[in-house]
């Protein structure tokens, strides 16, 4: 029995020809380079070799090099006894050896296991009215079922080959192709040896900028190298006004925006590790009564502070009819699932004061700013018990600022200023997974040498289109590791301290609020001292100055729910004041659908322990720097805005215990928001 492999003529001298024939237990592959017009007949003695070793025959025909590869088809040994046992499972009895041998031959030719071909036969026989197992019926079976199955398998394989592959399958294909080409090169002339191909695709051509960047040894750790398709964003690379200051606070002239890379600057969580969220926890187990208890305790605690601060004698139940003016305590909520408005305001009391809801008429209030979840005290009348007419509104009061009892500094002694850089993800444009903005930020850090860099997530953004469609060739954890490695290695020369804060948009991290810090098991020992892994939210003590921060977009969520009636008031300032007076990093209730809140942990780790000197609230909304009741509130916005560059923040802080005329002086000397 002979097998023929025909190689047709081609127009190119160096074109590679491949052909493949499978017969029985062997497969013959022919690979030929040149311009042939001939065919080869493989002798039966070569074709019949069925050992486990791949045989390679090199034939020289007309000064052309031909490689014939004879390799075994990897299949388990098939026996008639095994086939009979499988047939008996379906009550099919066959004693004719010729029928069994034919079925075994079909097994080998179609590369099927015994149990698979028996199942195929049972299905075929059933559709044909319980055919008997015979040679004639097996021929029909092969023609109508097995051959059709082989074609379907081939078409599905071709369909799969056009889909996006993962990194492992792509590497396997590349390796196999390179091995074949390397073997062909050994039969070609030295002047026509093949060269390594550059990995490019029509959708993602390799740009000169990307090639230059990845060829640099100092930037080989760039996350842009994780995928062959990670090409720079055209809009980002052509952006204008790089380095432009778009918002400022404090001293405009004088301060130099360069740090000293002080390794002596202390960065630590304000609370002790026992009272801080340092490890992951189990979530999605909370019960409704636990949520109720947390909300009730919040109302009672803030209510007691308001009662003592405003000298209120007692609180009346919200639904109790009263002809006189009374004071009621409760939480603002909406009478429906829609947005809060002046006609849908409800006040919900705690269990101590009846746990009832009553509609509130705010038409007599000259000024108000309300949002769902806000704890307030109202004065007014409720003559019928079904509607409370408010005439006065008491909002919350802020906590005191941080004071260091161990600080003993002379009045004339002035501490050195500390430069802090703040940036919030995403660190890629929306149309590309190339981390060019992150590389630019690392260059800024190396240029300015800040003492502390606070970097908030997302680092691997779950809202990125290519992440949503899984168009990546690495795991999310691997991409994140490369991001962190890029930042740590790229800033090692400056000696600056690094703070990493997660985001609920980090696709690889826990989707819960409060969010535990990242874990970096591969962090080098030399970098452990300068890297701080903080939860979201958190309060940090940096050089004696308190920083409060959350990567959750509380500005956006509260801005969508807040209603107000106040002449000349600033919306952002009102929201910041609500956070400080409600003493919470997320005072909104119910939370936004995107926020997976765990209220037991939130009660423990999501409250403001004090009024921070500086409050960081990165948001999709416009950047700003504002002084709100003594706290400098900064929204540095995000490092990228869609396909273009965004902004980052920088601050100069100085621990200063000296008071001017008995008033507190903010430790924030100056602050700016700068375009990347």
The pLDDT assigned to 569 comes to 78
> How high does pLDDT run on average in the chain?
80
- Residue 654 backbone phi and psi in degrees, to 5: -150, 120
* Lowest pLDDT segment from 6-10, 223-227, 264-268: 6-10
Q: Tens digits of per-residue pLDDT, 522-537?
A: 899 889 999 999 999 9
Q: Which residue has the tokens 């051959």?
A: 147
Pairing type for strands 375-382 and 322-334 reads antiparallel
Between 160 and 183, the higher pLDDT residue = 183
Name the least confident of 91-105, 607-621, 628-642.
Answer: 91-105
Flag whether pLDDT at 70 surpasses 70: no
- Whether 561 shows a pLDDT value over 60: the answer reads yes
Confidence category of residue 96, pLDDT binned at 50, 70, 90: confident
- Predicted confidence at residue 659, as pLDDT, reads 59
C-alpha distances in Å from residue 656, one per residue of 254, 402, 415, 615, 652: 18, 12, 7, 18, 12
pLDDT above 90 as % of the chain: 49
Locus of tokens 């088809």:
73
Predicted pLDDT of residue 110: 84
> Which is more confident, 662 or 391?
391
Is residue 634's pLDDT more than 70?
A: yes
The encoded tokens of residue 367 equal: 């000024």
Residue 45 pLDDT exceeds 90: no
Paired with 531 in beta bridges are 498
Give the closest residue to 203 by CA, choosing from 241, 168, 229.
Answer: 229
Considering the chain, what percentage of its residues have pLDDT values greater than 70? 73
If one counts every other C-beta atom within 10 angstroms of the C-beta of residue 668, the result is: 22
Closest CA to 542 of 269, 270, 267: 267
Q: Using the 8-state DSSP alphabet, how is residue 143 labeled? A: I
**Between 454 and 526, residue with greater pLDDT:** 454
Q: Given the structure tokens 């001293």, which residue do they identify?
A: 251
Residue 223's pLDDT is what?
Answer: 55
CB 343 within 8 A of CB 564: no
Instruction: From 256, 257, 268, 260, select the one nearest 543 (Cα to Cα).
Output: 268
Whether residue 210 contacts residue 232, with contact meaning beta carbons closer than 8 Å, is answered with yes
Split at pLDDT 50, 70, 90, the class of 53 is very low
All domains of the chain in start order, with CATH:
80-142 (1.10.8), 242-263+414-538+545-552+620-675 (3.60.21.60), 271-401+554-594 (2.40.50.430)
Residues 6+ apart with CB under 8 A from 676: 242, 437, 440, 441, 444, 639, 640, 645, 646, 647, 648
Q: Is 73 exposed, middle or buried (0-12, 13-18, 19+ CB in 10 A)?
A: middle
Angstrom distance (rounded) from CA 390 to CA 408: 49
Position 637 scores a pLDDT of: 97
Q: Among 55-59, 482-486, 498-502, 551-555, whose mean pLDDT is lowest?
A: 55-59
Write down the pTM of the prediction.
0.68
Question: Which of 223-232, 364-373, 513-522 bottoms out in mean pLDDT, i.e. has the lowest?
Answer: 223-232
d(CA 211, CA 137): 62
Which is more confident, 266 or 227? 266
Least confident among 145-154, 391-400, 504-513: 145-154
Strands 644-645, 640-641: pairing kind:
antiparallel
Cβ burial of 358 (10 Å; 0-12, 13-18, 19+) is buried
The C-alpha atoms of residue 64 and residue 32 are separated, in whole angstroms, by: 8
Q: Is the confidence at residue 158, as pLDDT, over 60? A: no
């Amino acid at each position: 029995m002979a097998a023929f492999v025909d190689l047709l003529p081609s127009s190119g001298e160096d074109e590679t020809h491949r052909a493949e024939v499978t017969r029985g237990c062997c497969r013959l592959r022919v690979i030929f380079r040149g311009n042939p017009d001939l065919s080869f007949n493989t002798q039966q003695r070569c074709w019949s070799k069925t050992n486990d070793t791949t045989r390679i025959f090199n034939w020289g025909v007309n000064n052309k090099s031909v490689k014939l590869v004879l390799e075994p088809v990897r299949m388990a040994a098939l026996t008639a006894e095994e086939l009979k046992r499988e047939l008996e499972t379906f009550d099919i009895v066959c004693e004719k050896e010729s029928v069994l041998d034919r079925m075994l031959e079909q097994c080998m030719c179609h590369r099927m296991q015994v149990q698979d071909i028996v199942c195929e036969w049972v299905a075929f026989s059933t559709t044909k009215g319980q055919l008997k197992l015979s040679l004639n019926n097996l021929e029909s079976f092969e023609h109508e079922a097995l051959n059709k199955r082989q074609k379907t398998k081939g078409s599905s394989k071709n369909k799969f080959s056009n889909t996006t592959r993962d990194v492992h399958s792509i590497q396997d294909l590349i390796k196999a192709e390179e091995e074949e080409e390397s073997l062909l090169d050994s039969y070609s002339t030295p002047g026509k040896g093949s060269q390594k191909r550059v990995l490019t695709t029509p959708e993602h051509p390799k740009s000169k900028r990307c090639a230059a960047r990845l060829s640099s040894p100092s930037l080989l750790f760039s996350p842009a190298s994780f995928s062959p398709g990670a090409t720079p964003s055209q809009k980002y690379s052509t952006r204008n006004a790089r380095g432009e200051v778009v918002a400022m606070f404090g001293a405009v002239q004088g301060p130099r925006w360069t740090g000293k890379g002080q390794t002596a600057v202390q960065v630590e969580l304000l609370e002790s590790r026992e009272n801080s969220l340092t490890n992951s926890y189990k979530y999605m187990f909370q019960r409704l009564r636990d949520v109720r208890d947390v909300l009730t305790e919040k109302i009672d605690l803030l209510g007691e502070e308001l009662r003592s601060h405003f000298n209120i004698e007692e609180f009346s139940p919200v639904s109790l009819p009263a002809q006189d003016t009374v004071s009621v305590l409760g939480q603002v909520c909406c009478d429906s699932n829609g947005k809060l408005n002046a006609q849908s305001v409800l006040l919900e009391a705690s269990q101590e004061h009846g746990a009832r809801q009553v509609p509130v008429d705010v038409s007599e209030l000259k000024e108000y700013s309300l949002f769902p979840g806000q704890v307030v005290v109202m004065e007014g009348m409720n003559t019928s018990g079904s509607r409370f007419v408010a005439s006065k509104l008491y909002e919350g009061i802020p906590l005191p600022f941080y004071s260091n009892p161990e600080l003993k500094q002379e009045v004339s002694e002035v501490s050195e200023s500390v430069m802090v850089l703040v940036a919030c993800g995403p660190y890629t444009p929306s149309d590309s997974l190339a981390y060019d903005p992150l590389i630019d930020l690392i260059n800024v850090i190396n240029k300015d040498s800040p003492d502390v860099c606070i970097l908030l997530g997302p680092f691997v953004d779950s809202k990125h289109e290519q992440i949503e469609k899984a168009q990546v060739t690495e795991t999310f954890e691997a991409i994140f590791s490369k991001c962190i490695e890029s930042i740590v290695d790229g800033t090692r020369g400056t000696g600056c301290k690094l703070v990493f804060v997660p985001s609920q948009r980090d696709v690889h991290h826990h989707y819960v609020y409060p969010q535990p810090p990242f874990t970096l098991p591969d962090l080098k020992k030399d970098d452990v001292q300068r890297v701080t892994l903080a939860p979201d939210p958190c309060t940090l003590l940096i050089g004696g100055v308190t920083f409060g921060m959350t990567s959750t977009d509380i500005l956006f969520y509260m801005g969508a729910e807040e209603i107000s009636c106040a002449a000349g008031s600033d919306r952002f300032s009102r929201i910041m004041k609500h956070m400080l007076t409600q003493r919470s990093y997320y005072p909104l209730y119910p939370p936004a659908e995107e926020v997976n809140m765990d209220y037991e942990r939130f009660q423990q780790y999501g409250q403001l322990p004090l009024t921070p000197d500086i409050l960081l609230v990165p948001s999709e909304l416009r950047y700003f720097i504002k002084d709100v009741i003594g706290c400098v509130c900064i929204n540095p916005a995000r490092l990228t805005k869609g396909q273009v560059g965004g902004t980052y923040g920088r601050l100069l802080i100085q621990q200063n215990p000296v008071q001017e005329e008995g008033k507190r002086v903010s430790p924030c000397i100056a602050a700016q928001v700068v375009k990347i």
